Structure 1
Amino acid sequence: MNSWRTHYKKALIALSLLLCTSVSIYAQDASKGDPENGETLFKANCAACHALDKQLVGPALGGVVDRVKQEENLDVDWFYKWIKDNKALRTSGDKYANELFEKFNKTEMPVFANLSDQDVDDILAYTTNPPKQDDAAATTADKAQDPAQLEAERTEKTNSLIILVSLLAVSGLLVWLLIKLRQLVKLNQSEELSVFNECQIRNFGELYEKYNTIGKLVLGILAVFAAYGVWNWLMWVGVYKGYQPEQPIYFSHKIHAGINKIDCQLCHSGAKYGKVSEIPSLNVCMNCHKFISEYKGEYVQAGKTKDFYTGEIKKIYDAVGWDEKTQSYTGKTHPIQWVRIHNMPDFVYFNHSQHVVAGAKTIMAAKNVDIVCKACHGKIDTMNVVQMANDFTMGWCISCHRTTQVDMTNGYNEAYFKNLHAKLEKQYGKGTKITVDAIGGIECGKCHY
């Protein structure tokens, strides 16, 4: 019996030593890497498909080293093989690698042969012990207003109210004084003043009779100004420069086209190939936002928060029926009713492809703007909410056609307008700049049916 107890105690001691050794190994594996550098590497290589706290395309990676060790008894060496060349690991018959591949819809994970062992250690250190977010790095838009600033605003409002009440009191006092003075004048009015007052003009009719000619002249001038005002008002009917409607989903072009440098035609793909530029379908949005479920950018518009932007991304998910937990579509969808901003009248023909393809080189050659889209839509990459940047009147379009130089260096224009170019050079001399109006850009039939 004593012998059995002795062996049992030795077994317990050995097991304890083994567990301590395992914990020590885990600690060493976690401490080998640099979590801060790992965060940078994670965002550059892994964040498109993984998050620490939830499943995206792939599993959540928070604490993945300990989890895999406990569940599959696999150490860091397995991660080196999986991250650097997961396909080769699966081909070798690794059981866990193939289970992961099957579990996550047979989605191919990219090969990261460029990452060194130290890089992998850094990434794993980040997943094990991510650096705490510095509260001081929060943007000013996310913070509450400064108490001193709030106090200053209250003081300003109080002072404004005091000034307003004082002005009203002074105005009341002046009215009272005028009334009293009028009563005093009536009491002290002499007979001579009464006779003089009877000769005074008392109304506009008497004034007009006395100054008939001058009155007609003044009325004529007023009529001319009124007619001009009506004409000027009619000329601006249907002109909505500055129109900036609220959209059902808040979409910041400044974040997408400005900060992230996304090309306009990535979303508005029809602009290069058709008459209209098209409103992007939500499937286009999901190409990126399937993997970007939270806003983590540095820029935050005044009055907004990062949570606000994240909430707008969730509206996209709701519209397309995307379930974040299962990373799949539910089939429950509903359309987004975008508010149209630019809308040409029915009698006007405008072709986006003609301007984007031919106009791009023309406008860039003239060095008026950096890209053709801005010629009409303004600095769209600086707008949080898109607005109509120009008048879009016929005069505005004609002015553009009269000042924009045609690029004659490309093969098509050089061949197609060869005779015209020669004619203009003969008429105006060599070095003549051909503008759009010279090639029919202001003919009525070009824009009107």
Structure 2
Amino acid sequence: MISWRKHYRQTLIAIGLLLSTSASIYGQDGDPKNGEKLFKANCTACHALDKQVVGPPLKGVVERVKTEGGVDTAWLHKWIKNNKELRASGDKYANEIFEKFNKTEMQLFPNLSDKDIDDILAFTTNPPAPEPAADPKKDATTTDATAAAPANSTTTSVVIISLLAIAALLVWILIKLRQLVKLGQSDDLAGLNETRVKSFSEIYAKYHYVGKGLIAILALLATYGIWNWIMWIGVYKGYKPEQPIYFSHKIHAGEQKIDCQLCHSSAKYGKVSEIPSMNVCMNCHRTISEYNAQHYMEPGKDKAFYDGEIQKIYAATGWDPAKQQYTGKSQPVEWTRIHNMPDFVYFNHSQHVVAGEQAIINSFNKKNPTNKIDVVCKACHGKIDTMNVVQMANDFTMGWCIECHRTTEVDMNNGYNKEYFKNLHDKLKKQYPKDGGKITVDAIGGLECGKCHY
């Protein structure tokens, strides 16, 4: 009896140890929900659960390293905290992984505790099911159906009223035709024919003053029309062409808050704000291979559309997302230029973005108190962080630029302007005492022809 109890106790202990070891091996002793947060904060730059990004997919990584390398979670703890040290120790499996993934250095995470790593491993072993996302198409359909009912009713009413108006007009025409027929059958028609003017020359001779006046008015209107047409040649406000790769500034600059100068870096340091190279796009899209912002999709577009545009970036740069390496076969992207100054116009972005930044923002906000801006770029290009398709927001005519130079006050509080324009500042205070000697851009040469024209 004692022997049986002893054997039973040993069996229970063995089962407990087995379960404990199994739980440790499979990473299920952690908190998957907390692991998901830690995974998103630390791992998603290089890893995904179900596909290779920079590193391998991490779903089921605990079981995979056990099968491939015969190692357990203790090895994973060492690898995650300091894989470089683990490789230097001569660990065979660690060096195999390093060679397999093109000797790409993995970031060290000494800041993660053992509990944090267990939580991450629990998440990779049993990731929580994603919450069902709202279907934008369904919502749009419901909204459209709700809005369609009153719209259809209004349309029907307009059609009925239009048909009644046409019917009334036809009745009126028939009545007038009947009156004319009766008139033609009477003796009064002969008297009218005798007094009727029989040629255009007789009309002109009788009303030549009126005719000359009308001709003069028509000539003036025609001249004005031709002049107005000529003056607006090359002005394309509202122009928004389709691009070979769809790029939404609303998603990147608006939703994701990416700074304009991260992509258009030369706007701050050079004359031209260049179109960023595709390598700039790849800084992010090397790891962002699909569109997961289900909360925002432009009407008429779905996830498949956005994913397809990301694939165009890969095709242009020659990037193979499966192998995580460049093939060397790139394709140029023929972007359609939107803003293009004539060759005889000189415009320097850095002069406005750096030297004139605060002055331009202050001037714009003063003139537009209900539509203020926070970035100098928006003064000329409009609120580009709200545009899915970029369009020309202003006229960009000579008059438009001159008006800005006449109304934008130079910031005289910074050390350079205060010292450089000291004598001019004192002179203008005496010349314009009512304005307190305010200096606008035109006062420091902003209207000189040579400033903008070669």
**Given the two structures, how large is their TM-score scaled by the length of structure 2?**
0.85
Summarize the alignment of residues 119-198 of structure 1 with structure 2, pairs less than 5 Å apart: 119-135=116-132, 137-140=133-136, 142-143=137-138, 145-146=140-141, 149-150=144-145, 153=148, 160=155, 164=159, 167=162, 171=166, 174-175=169-170, 178-179=173-174, 181-183=176-178, 185-187=180-182, 189-198=185-194
**In 2 relative to 1, CA 380–176 (structure 1 residues): closer, same or farther, beyond 3 Å?**
same
8 A Cα contact 1:245 1:339, kept in partner = yes
Which of 92, 95, 101 is the matching residue for 1:95?
Answer: 92
CA deviations 1:21-70 (Å, max 9, x no partner) are: 36972388543333233222212211110011111111111111111122
Summarize deviations over 1:57-97 as a string: whole Å, max 9, x none: 11111111111122223222222222222223333333322
Query: Residue 111 of structure 1 is aligned with which of 108, 120, 134?
Result: 108
Of the structure 1 ranges 164-173 and 306-315, higher mean CA displacement relative to structure 2 is found in: 164-173
Partner of 1:25 in structure 2?
Answer: 22
**How many angstroms does 1:20 deviate by?**
10
Seen in structure 2, the aligned counterparts of structure 1 residues 184 and 300 have a Cα distance that, compared at 3 Å, is same
CA contact under 8 A between 2:26 and 2:125: conserved in structure 1?
A: no
Q: Tell me, which stretches of 5 or more residues in structure 1 are unaligned?
A: 1-13
Contact 2:317 2:329 in 1 (8 A): yes
In structure 2, do the counterparts of structure 1 residues 118 and 378 end up closer, same or farther at CA, with 3 Å as the change threshold? same
Match of 1:426 among 425, 430, 433: 430
CA distance in 1, matches of 2:20, 2:64: 13
2:82 to 81, 85, 97: 85
- What is the one-letter code of the residue matched to 2:44? A
Corresponding residue for residue 257 of structure 1:
253
Find the aligned partners of 2:292 and 2:84 in 1 and give their Cα distance. 31
Residue 296 (structure 2) aligns with: 299
Gaps in structure 2 of 5+ consecutive residues? 1-10, 366-372
Deviations 1:252-286 (A, max 9, x none): 11111122222212111221222211111111111
- Cα distance, 1:195 vs structure 2: 1.1
1:313 aligns with 2:293: no
Equivalent position of 1:439 in the other structure: 444
Tell me what 1:340 maps to. Answer: 337
Summarize the alignment of residues 153-302 of structure 1 with structure 2, pairs less than 5 Å apart: 153=148, 160=155, 164=159, 167=162, 171=166, 174-175=169-170, 178-179=173-174, 181-183=176-178, 185-187=180-182, 189-200=185-196, 207-297=203-293, 298-302=295-299
Higher mean C-alpha deviation, range 411-420 or range 245-254:
411-420
- Measure how far apart 1:223 and its partner are: 2.4
Q: Does 1:63 align with 2:60?
A: yes
* Partner of residue 416, structure 1: 420
CA distance in 2, matches of 1:428, 1:148: 59
Alignment RMSD (CA, Å): 3.1
Aligned residue for 2:44?
A: 47
Distance 1:194 1:32, change over 3 A: farther
Residues 124-158 of structure 1 show CA distances to partners (whole Å, capped at 9, x for unaligned) of 222112222222x2351x44753684597499669
Amino acid at match of 1:442: L
- Contact 1:405–1:433 (Cα < 8 Å) also in 2: yes
What SS does the corresponding residue of 2:356 show, helix, strand or coil? helix
For the Cα contact (< 8 Å) 2:46–2:287, is it kept in 1? yes
Residues 29 and 121 of structure 1 are in contact (CA less than 8 Å); yes or no, is this contact kept in structure 2? no
Aligned length: 432
- Once residues 116 and 305 of structure 1 are traced to their aligned partners in structure 2, the CA distance between those partners, rounded to angstroms, is 40
CA contact (8 A) 1:139 1:300 kept: no
- The answer on whether the counterparts of 2:317 and 2:331 sit within 8 Å (CA) in structure 1 is yes
Inter-partner Cα distance in structure 2 for 1:367 and 1:167: 47
Q: Deviation string for 1:346-381 (max 9, x for gaps)?
A: 111111122222122432454634222112111111
Counterpart of 2:181, as a letter, is K
- The answer to which of 18-27 and 350-359 deviates more is 18-27
How big is the shift at 1:225? 2.5
Alignment CA distance shift 1:204-1:294 (3 Å): farther
TM-score of the pair, normalised by structure 1: 0.86
Of 334-343 and 199-208, deviating more is: 199-208
> Which residue does the alignment assign to 1:37?
34
Task: Provide closer, same or farther for how the CA distance between residues 148 and 395 of structure 1 changes in structure 2, counting only shifts above 3 A.
Answer: closer
1:325 aligns with 2:319: no
**Alpha-carbon distance in structure 2 between the residues aligned to 1:442 and 1:38:** 62
Deviation at 1:421, TM superposition (A): 1.9
Please state whether the residue corresponding to 2:428 is helix, strand or coil: helix
CA distance in 1, matches of 2:447, 2:147: 58
Q: Deviations over 1:95-128 (max 9, x none)?
A: 3222222222222222223323332222222211
Change (3 A) 1:202 1:311: farther
Q: Per-residue displacement from partner, 1:140-198 (whole Å, max 9, x unpaired)?
A: 1x447536845974996698479648845863674476246524542454213431354
**CA shift in 2, pair 1:222/1:427, >3 Å:** same
- TM superposition shift of 1:443: 0.1
SS state at 1:32 partner: coil
Judged with a 3 Å threshold, the aligned counterparts in structure 2 of structure 1 residues 252 and 202 are, in CA distance, closer, same or farther, namely farther
Cα distance between partner residues in 1 of 2:431 and 2:231 = 37
Match of residue 392 from structure 1: 396
Q: Any idea what the Cα deviations from partners look like across 1:275-308, whole Å, max 9, x if unmatched?
A: 2111111111111111111112232122222221
Shift of 1:436: 0.9
Question: In structure 2, do the counterparts of structure 1 residues 282 and 390 end up closer, same or farther at CA, with 3 Å as the change threshold?
Answer: same
